[in-house]
């Protein structure tokens, strides 16, 4: 669908940042809205009807009257939003009619339940990719490319410096670090995002060990949600908070153990229980040496649940889309790249622009 309004930057080779999206989806103060269907997608404000791509905090906000997502994202949303939230879930591939459009979800390969939203109507076929990756992940269904006219892509790691190693290599590195620390009597503390990354690590490590992994208390319920969805992972035990007063030091030693914790636990009294530690961070951000140095972890493991630069380009090519809207991250360089390569490129700002979406870096 061409438009004559100048909303879309259709010229190739030149780049002027278009600021408005129009057509099937429009930008509102609440986030992306589909007028023909009467719903928002991943709104940051409270709305009547919110379609949710996945359970991360920068995509799924509490307060909306009703939520629609792909199963089993509902398991995670329930834990985040509580029993009173109105949450409906459908299977991937099942099409629904909402107003004047047909809506379906397709796997995004990002975290448990993560899905792309395909919307078909008078403006053609639009797909909101949400967050996605192309690397295999034992905790969720593999990304499925969907043919469409307009693809709205994340751009968390939308710079050519971001390229991921094979997961098996990263997992072997983590095991080597853990073994080395164990031999030296140290505790291995691996910081990671509590939804998705922690469970992926537990599933990947289950291929190479059967040891119990200790986890921060805030991760326990989220790991249970993954088990409910039948994801196979290593056994875990919580690191129990030391009593503030009363009993003396707990006798449990964590020397030689692996502990997963959210970044927010770093430097807190919770850490004191763990004895002599080596700490590490598992994130795509660890690709950048300056970030590693600045954050001063003993180790950085480059493991991401987002598409790297080659995967972003490949995915857009796989969709056959003639228009790409980049959002959530390095939107501008990515949209510019597509504009320079024969597509209509645009960006959409989110409420999160300029601030990290969580303590843990891009989830
Ligand atoms: Zn995101
Ligand atoms: Zn995400």
Model confidence pLDDT, tens digit, residues 3-20: 333 333 333 444 454 445
Q: Worst-scoring range by mean pLDDT, 91-95, 280-284, 338-342? A: 338-342
Give the C-alpha separation, 36 to 14, whole Å. Answer: 32
Contact 194, 79 (CB under 8 A): no
Model confidence pLDDT, tens digit, residues 238-292: 998 655 555 555 568 999 999 999 999 999 999 999 999 999 999 999 999 888 8
| CA 363 / ligand 1 centre spacing (Å) | 6
| CA 58 / ligand 1 centre spacing (Å) | 6
Contact 59, 131 (CB under 8 A): yes
The residue among 293 and 170 whose pLDDT is bigger is: 170
Give the C-alpha separation, 7 to 158, whole Å. Answer: 23
Q: Is the peptide bond before 232 cis (omega within 30 degrees of 0)?
A: no
Task: Identify the burial level of 296 via C-beta atoms within 10 angstroms of its C-beta, where 0-12 means exposed, 13-18 middle and 19 or more buried.
Answer: exposed
Instruction: State in Å, rounded, how far the first CA of the chain is from the last one.
Output: 33
- Local confidence band at 355 (pLDDT 50, 70, 90 cut-offs): very low
Q: What is the pLDDT of residue 91?
A: 98
What are the helix and strand counts (H, E) for the chain?
A: 7, 19
Query: Which run of H or E residues covers position 90?
Result: strand 87-90
| CA 61 / ligand 1 centre spacing (Å) | 12
Give the C-alpha separation, 36 to 126, whole Å. Answer: 13
| CA 83 / ligand 2 centre spacing (Å) | 22
Contact 142, 136 (CB under 8 A): yes
| CA 303 / ligand 2 centre spacing (Å) | 14
Give the C-alpha separation, 233 to 218, whole Å. Answer: 17
| CA 110 / ligand 2 centre spacing (Å) | 7
Q: What is the largest CA-CA distance in the chain?
A: 74
As a whole number, mean pLDDT of residues 60-70 equals: 97
Tokens 């449990």 belong to: 252
Model confidence pLDDT, tens digit, residues 22-38: 789 998 889 999 999 99
| CA 187 / ligand 1 centre spacing (Å) | 31
Percent of the chain with pLDDT over 90: 81
Q: What is the pLDDT of residue 362?
A: 46
Beta bridge partners, 22, equal none
The ligand with the least distance to the CA atom of 193 is 2
**Which tokens hold the place of 301?**
């493991």
| CA 174 / ligand 1 centre spacing (Å) | 25
Q: How high is the mean pLDDT of the chain?
A: 90
The residue among 179 and 289 whose pLDDT is bigger is: 179
Pairing of strands 115-121, 101-107: antiparallel
Residue ranges near ligand 2 (ion) with Cβ within 5 Å = 56, 131, 363
3-state SS, residue 56: coil
């Amino acid at each position: 669908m061409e438009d004559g309004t100048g909303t879309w930057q259709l010229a190739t080779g030149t780049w002027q940042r278009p600021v408005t999206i129009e057509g099937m989806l429009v930008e509102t103060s609440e986030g992306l809205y589909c007028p023909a269907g009467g719903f928002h997608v991943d709104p940051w404000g409270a709305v009547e009807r919110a379609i949710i791509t996945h359970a991360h905090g920068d995509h799924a906000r509490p307060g909306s009257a009703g939520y629609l997502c792909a199963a089993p994202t509902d398991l995670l949303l329930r834990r985040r939003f509580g029993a009173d939230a109105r949450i409906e879930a459908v299977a991937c591939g099942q099409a629904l009619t909402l107003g004047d459009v047909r809506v379906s979800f397709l796997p995004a390969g990002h975290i448990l339940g993560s899905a792309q939203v395909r919307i078909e109507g008078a403006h053609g076929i639009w797909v909101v990719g949400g967050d996605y990756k192309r690397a295999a992940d034992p905790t969720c269904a593999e990304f499925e490319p969907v043919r469409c006219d307009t693809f709205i892509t994340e751009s968390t790691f939308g710079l050519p410096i971001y390229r991921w190693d094979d997961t098996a290599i990263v997992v072997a590195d983590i095991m080597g670090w853990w073994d080395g620390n164990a031999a030296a009597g140290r505790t291995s503390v691996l910081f990671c995002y509590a939804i998705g990354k922690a469970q992926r690590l537990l599933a990947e490590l289950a291929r190479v060990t059967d040891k119990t992994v200790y986890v921060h208390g805030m991760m326990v319920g989220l790991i249970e949600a993954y088990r409910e969805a039948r994801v196979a992972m290593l056994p875990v035990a919580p690191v129990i908070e030391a009593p503030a007063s009363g009993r003396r030091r707990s006798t449990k030693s964590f020397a030689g153990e692996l502990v997963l914790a959210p970044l927010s636990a770093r430097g807190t009294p919770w850490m004191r229980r763990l004895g002599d530690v080596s700490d590490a961070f598992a994130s795509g951000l660890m690709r950048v040496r300056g970030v590693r140095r600045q954050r001063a972890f003993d180790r950085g493991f480059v493991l991401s649940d987002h598409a790297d630069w080659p995967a972003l380009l490949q995915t857009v090519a796989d969709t056959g889309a003639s228009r790409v809207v980049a959002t959530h991250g390095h939107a501008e360089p990515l949209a510019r790249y597509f504009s320079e390569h024969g597509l209509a490129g645009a960006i959409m700002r989110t409420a999160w622009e300029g601030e990290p979406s969580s303590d843990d870096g891009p989830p």
